[in-house]
Chains A and B, each alone.
Chain A
Amino acid sequence: MSVKVSTTINGDAVDFVCQPDEPLLDVLRNRLGLTGAKEGCGTGDCGACSVILDGRLVCSCLVLGVEMEGKKLETVEGLADGPKLHPLQQQFIDGAALQCGICTPGFLIAAKALLDKNPDPSEEEIRFGLAGNLCRCTGYDKIVRAVQAAAKEMRGA
C-alpha cells in the first residue's frame, strides 16, 4: 500500500507517494524526475546516488522513501545557485575532473559534504572523504585536484 510523504528537497516542499519498500533513489529518479543521482550498484558500494540527508552524506539507495517524512534533502540538482555554478561544479569542469560524468553528481555531493565539515582538507582527507565514490575513468587525480581548487576558492570567498 502506498504511503504519502511530505519532505523538503533542495529547499522546496515536496509531497510524494511511494511504496513502503521503495528506496529513496527510486523515488527521486522515477517519481520526482530528479535523475541526477545515479544507480551504479544499488547496494551502497559506489556512491553514485549520494545525497545529503539532514546534513549527513548518505547513499539514497540505502534509504527508504518513507523515511523522508519531515526530513531535509540536498541533491546535485540543488547545488548551483540559479545560473551560478557551485565552485565545485566549476572546478570539475575547468579541471577536466570528469570523463564520462556518471559518477560526477555523487562526487560533487560527497565533496560538498566534506567541505561543509572541513573547509581545508589535506589530500589524504579528501581521498578518504571521497573513498565511498567510485570513478572508473579518471584515476581520481583530477577529481582530487578539483576539490582542492574549490576548497581554496571557497575559503577565499
Chain B
Amino acid sequence: MPLDTSLVRKQFKVIGTRVRRPDGIDKVTGRAKYGADAFAPGQLIGLVLRSPHAHARIKKIDISKAEKLQGVKAVITAADLPDLTGGDRGMRDILENCMARSKALYDGHAVAAVAAVDAHTAKQALKLIKIDYEVLPHVTDVDEALKPGAPLIHDDIFTDGIEPKPTKPSNFCKLAEYGHGDVEAGFKEADFVIEKSYKTEQTHQGYIEPHACLANVSPDGVAELWVTTQGPFVYRNHCAALLGLDANKLRVTASEIGGGFGGKTHVWAEPLALALSRKANRPVKLTMTRDEVFRATGPTSSASIDVKVGVKKDGTVTAAFAELRYQNGAFPFTWAEFGAMTAFACYDFKNVKTVSRDAVVNRPKCAAYRAPSAPIAAFAVESTMDMAAKAIGMDPIDFRIKNAAREGTKSSYGPVFGPIGIGPTLEAAKKHAHWNAPLGENQGRGMACGFWFNFGGQTCVDLNVTPDGSVTVALGTIDVGGSRASMALAVAEELGVAYEQVRCVVADTSSLGHNDMTDGSRGTFSSSMAAVDAARKAIHTMRERAAKIWEIPLDEVEWIDGQAKAVGEKHGNKAPLSIKEIAAQAANTGGPIAGHSEIVADGAGVSFATHICDAEVDPETGRTSIKRYTVIQDAGKAMHPSYVEGQYQGGAAQGIGWALNEEYIYGKDGRLQNAGFLDYRIPVCSDLPFIDTQILEIPNPNHPYGVRGVGETSIVPPLGAIGNAISNAAGVRLNHVPMSPPRVLKAIKDAR
C-alpha cells in the first residue's frame, strides 16, 4: 500500500495546536541526558592532541613515553586507523579529517589521541607525545588560495567542472555554472547596471553543547556508541566503514542533542573514541572542549562574491550575474555551488547566470550551517537588489514583488517552481505594521528575502499500538527542537486520538531502518510523512481486526474519529470499536498491531521568507543595535506553531549574530585567535529585541498535511536585511560581513 502523499485540505483536530512537548519535564529538571551525560562502568577518558600549525608535514610521532605513563590505556595515531575506504574520496577525506595522516592541514587538526583512567592522566599523556613537524606555507583566504602559486593543500585535486580536466593540481576544487538566458544581452538592455563585490567571514553554528560521545567496542567487533548527533544512522555507517566494523554490530544511540544546526552531521572525534575503545578494550568517553569545537569541527565557509544586476527604470531586472568563491576548509566540497544555486532563487529573471568556484584552504573542514551557503549569497544579492531599487527610486519591496518568482517560474538553478511563498511573504511584509512604523534618530529600516531548497530523503517510522490502546512511535530523525511533539500530533491526527495517547521516541540504529540525517529542514517534513504512512497502515490493520471481530467484509468497516465503524444499513446496530477495544482483542485477532513506514520522502516544498529589520547605528562608534525585527515565512502548514515560530526566531538571531559580530579571526600564523565564546561573539539576550513572526501557510502539494521544512530559511535574509538597514541608517553600504563596529565606523569616516 504506497503512501498517498497528496495534500488533503481538511480541518485539523490537533495539528496546529500548541501542545506541551513530551521531553519538556526532563529538560527543565536537568534529567535529560545529552552527549556528555552518559557514564559506563570502567570508562576511560579520551583526549585528542591537535596540530598547533595551519599546515605542516608530520615527520615523526613518538608515543612511547605517553604509552608508558601509569593509567594510560591506549594511544592512537593515523597508524591505528588504516585507510579502508577503497578509493572513495569522500570517505577518505572524512578519515583524514578525523586524524591527520601525512600532513596537518589546519590549526586544530587531530594528530593523536589517548585514553586514560582519568582526565588528569590523559592530559599528562598528551604532553608526552612528541611530534616532529615540518611547518609548510599556509593559506586561509579563499581568493588567495585560488591564485596561482598559492600553497597547495592537496596534490591530488584537479578542478572538477573544467573540460578538459586540468593536469596540474590546485586548491580550486570545483567550477559550476547555473542560469538561463543571455546575461550579456540583458545587461545591454538595462538603464542601470549595479556591480559590487562582497566578502563574508567564516562563522560557526555555535551550538551550546560540545561534541561528546561514549564508545564501547568489544574484541569481537560488537560496539556501541552513545553520541550527540543529527544522524545516528549516518554516524553508524561512517564509523563502521572507517573502522572496518560491520554496521549491524555497531549500535548508535542518539543522546538528546544540545543544538546542531548542521554541525553535528559529520563525524569528528567519534571514530577516534571507537578506535581508542577498541585498543583499550574499555569504554571511552570523549568530550570536546569549546576550544576544540571552534578549531576542529565544521564551521561554514568564508566567501568572496561579485554581483552584477541590470535594471530598467520600470523595475524590470534585465540580467543578473554572480560569481561566488567559497572556501571549503581543508577538504573539497561544493559549498560555493550551493551558493550559486540559491543566489537568485527568489526571483524570476529572464537572463541569469551564476558561477561558483570552490576552494580548499588551511582551515577546518566546512560543514553545513543552517541553509548552508545561502545566507552568504543572499547577503551579496539582497544588498545589490537594494542598490538597484535605490537607483531607480523604487520601494525595495515593490521592486522585489515585481521580480519575484511564482508558480511556474523556471528557477535560476533549473527546476520549475510549484506553488511558492516568495510573493505572499513580500505582500505580507508590505502590509505589515512594522514596514510603515516611524523610525528614530540614527535608525534605518531594511528588508531582504531568502530561499532554501529543503530536503526529504530516506525515512523510517515504526508505530505500535500497545495492549492498552495507547500508541508508541519510534522515529529515526533526531529531535533537535520539539519534533517529537509534532510527530505525535501527526499520528494523533491520523488515528483520530488525543495527542496524549501517542508517545514518540527516537530509536537507536539497531531498532529501525536507515534514516538520513536530520538536516535540510527535513525532520518534521519527512518523518511526519512516514508517521502518517505508518498510522494509515495501522488503521488498515485495525479495520481488518474490526472486520474479523464483526465477521463482516473489510470494505464495510471505516475508520472515523479514532474508531472502527461498521457502515451500511445492515450494521447499524454495531457499536463502534475504539483502538482500546481492538487492541484488547489483538491476541485473538492476529497479534500485535503495528504500522511501519519506509519511504524516500520526495517533494520537500521549497521555502521562502522575507525579513524586516530596524537598525540603529551610533555614528561615533559604528555600533549597530537591532531595534525591531520581523520574520515572515511560509511554513506550508505549521504543525506546532510555537516551534515553527521558534525556528524563525532562532534563525533570525543567528543571522543577526553573523551580520554584526561573529567571525573566525585567523592570525598571520594561520592559527585561530578567537576559539571561545568570549571573542566569538554570538548574540546575548540583551542584544536582541523580541522577534516578531508571521507564519504563512501555502500548502506543499506533496505532503499529506501540506508541510514544508521551516528550519533553515530564517537564517538566509538577516545579513542582507541588516546591511540594507545600516545603509538606510548611516548612509553607508557595507560589503563585508560581519558589519562590526570597526568596519561600520571606517565606512562612515570614509564617506565623510
Residues of A within 8 A of B (CB): 19, 29, 34-43, 45-46, 48, 75-77, 79-80, 85, 88-90, 92-96, 98-105, 108, 124, 126-128, 130-145
Contacts of A100 in B (CB 8 A): 207-209, 256-260, 480-481
Give A32 to B207 CA distance when docked, in angstroms: 26
Give A103 to B32 CA distance when docked, in angstroms: 12
Give A45 to B206 CA distance when docked, in angstroms: 13
- Within the complex, the shortest CB–CB distance from B479 to chain A, in Å, comes to 9
Q: In this complex, what residue of B is CB-closest to A86?
A: B28
Contacts of A93 in B (CB 8 A): 20-21, 24-25, 28
Give A95 to B480 CA distance when docked, in angstroms: 17
Within 8 A of A (CB), among B50-100: none
Our pick among B21, B206, B287, B691 for the contact of A96 (Cβ within 8 Å) is B21
Q: In this complex, what residue of A is CB-closest to B37?
A: A35
A102, B209: Cβ atoms under 8 Å? Answer: yes
Residues of B within 8 A of A (CB): 18, 20-21, 23-25, 27-34, 36-37, 120, 205-210, 256-261, 287, 289-290, 480-482, 642-643, 645-646, 649-650, 652-654, 676-678, 682-686, 688, 690-691
Q: In this complex, what residue of B is CB-closest to A110?
A: B685
Contacts of A139 in B (CB 8 A): 646, 649-650, 652-653, 683, 688, 691
30 intermolecular pairs with C-beta atoms under 8 Å apart: A35-B37, A36-B29, A37-B30, A38-B34, A38-B36, A39-B36, A39-B210, A40-B258, A40-B290, A42-B290, A45-B677, A80-B29, A85-B25, A88-B28, A89-B29, A93-B24, A93-B28, A101-B23, A101-B27, A101-B32, A102-B208, A128-B685, A128-B686, A131-B684, A131-B686, A134-B208, A138-B649, A139-B646, A139-B652, A139-B688
Starting from the known contacts A89-B25, A136-B259, 7 additional A-B residue pairs (CB-CB under 8 Å) come to A29-B37, A42-B289, A43-B678, A92-B24, A100-B209, A102-B34, A140-B685
Q: In this complex, what residue of A is CB-closest to B257?
A: A100
Give A94 to B482 CA distance when docked, in angstroms: 12
- Within the complex, the shortest CB–CB distance from A122 to chain B, in Å, comes to 12
Q: Which of A41, A42, A127, A139 has the most CB of B within 10 A?
A: A139
- Within the complex, the shortest CB–CB distance from A138 to chain B, in Å, comes to 5
- Within the complex, the shortest CB–CB distance from A39 to chain B, in Å, comes to 7
CB contact under 8 A between A92 and B36, given known A131-B686, A133-B685: no
- Within the complex, the shortest CB–CB distance from A76 to chain B, in Å, comes to 4
Contacts of A98 in B (CB 8 A): 24, 27-28
Contacts of B30 in A (CB 8 A): 34-37, 75-77, 105
A41, B29: Cβ atoms under 8 Å? Answer: no
B650, A99: Cβ atoms under 8 Å? Answer: yes
CB contact under 8 A between A96 and B208, given known A105-B30, A139-B688, A139-B691: no
Give A108 to B31 CA distance when docked, in angstroms: 14
Give A152 to B243 CA distance when docked, in angstroms: 55
A92, B209: Cβ atoms under 8 Å? Answer: no
Contacts of B677 in A (CB 8 A): 40-41, 43, 45-46, 134
Give A76 to B686 CA distance when docked, in angstroms: 23
Our pick among A79, A104, A127, A134 for the contact of B682 (Cβ within 8 Å) is A134
Q: In this complex, what residue of B is CB-closest to A90?
A: B28
A140, B688: Cβ atoms under 8 Å? Answer: yes
Contacts of B688 in A (CB 8 A): 127, 139-141
B654, A136: Cβ atoms under 8 Å? Answer: yes
Our pick among B33, B208, B649, B650 for the contact of A35 (Cβ within 8 Å) is B33
Give A139 to B626 CA distance when docked, in angstroms: 13
Our pick among B33, B210, B643 for the contact of A99 (Cβ within 8 Å) is B643
Contacts of A143 in B (CB 8 A): 685
Contacts of A42 in B (CB 8 A): 289-290
CB contact under 8 A between A99 and B646, given known A130-B685, A131-B685, A144-B690: yes
CB contact under 8 A between A40 and B653, given known A96-B482, A137-B259: no
Q: Which of A19, A101, A105, A145 has the most CB of B within 10 A?
A: A101
Contacts of A96 in B (CB 8 A): 18, 21, 482, 642-643, 645-646
Give A132 to B685 CA distance when docked, in angstroms: 8
Give A134 to B209 CA distance when docked, in angstroms: 11
Contacts of A48 in B (CB 8 A): 208
Contacts of A131 in B (CB 8 A): 684-686
B481, A99: Cβ atoms under 8 Å? Answer: yes
A108, B28: Cβ atoms under 8 Å? Answer: yes
Contacts of B678 in A (CB 8 A): 43, 45
Give A104 to B23 CA distance when docked, in angstroms: 12
Give A96 to B643 CA distance when docked, in angstroms: 7
Q: Which of B120, B652, B684 has the most CB of A within 10 A?
A: B684
Give A85 to B30 CA distance when docked, in angstroms: 12
A102, B289: Cβ atoms under 8 Å? Answer: no
Give A80 to B26 CA distance when docked, in angstroms: 12
- Within the complex, the shortest CB–CB distance from B29 to chain A, in Å, comes to 6
Give A92 to B646 CA distance when docked, in angstroms: 13
Contacts of A88 in B (CB 8 A): 28
Give A94 to B25 CA distance when docked, in angstroms: 11
Contacts of A36 in B (CB 8 A): 29-31
- Within the complex, the shortest CB–CB distance from A127 to chain B, in Å, comes to 4
Contacts of A41 in B (CB 8 A): 290, 676-677
B208, A140: Cβ atoms under 8 Å? Answer: no
Q: In this complex, what residue of A is CB-closest to B287?
A: A39
Contacts of A144 in B (CB 8 A): 685, 690
Give A85 to B676 CA distance when docked, in angstroms: 34
- Within the complex, the shortest CB–CB distance from A96 to chain B, in Å, comes to 4
Contacts of A132 in B (CB 8 A): 684
- Within the complex, the shortest CB–CB distance from B290 to chain A, in Å, comes to 4
- Within the complex, the shortest CB–CB distance from B16 to chain A, in Å, comes to 14
Give A137 to B257 CA distance when docked, in angstroms: 12
A-B CB proximity, top 7 nearest: A36-B30, A102-B258, A139-B653, A101-B27, A96-B642, A139-B649, A99-B481
Give A127 to B30 CA distance when docked, in angstroms: 23
A104, B28: Cβ atoms under 8 Å? Answer: yes
- Within the complex, the shortest CB–CB distance from B17 to chain A, in Å, comes to 12
Q: Which of B23, B289, B650 has the most CB of A within 10 A?
A: B650
- Within the complex, the shortest CB–CB distance from B438 to chain A, in Å, comes to 21
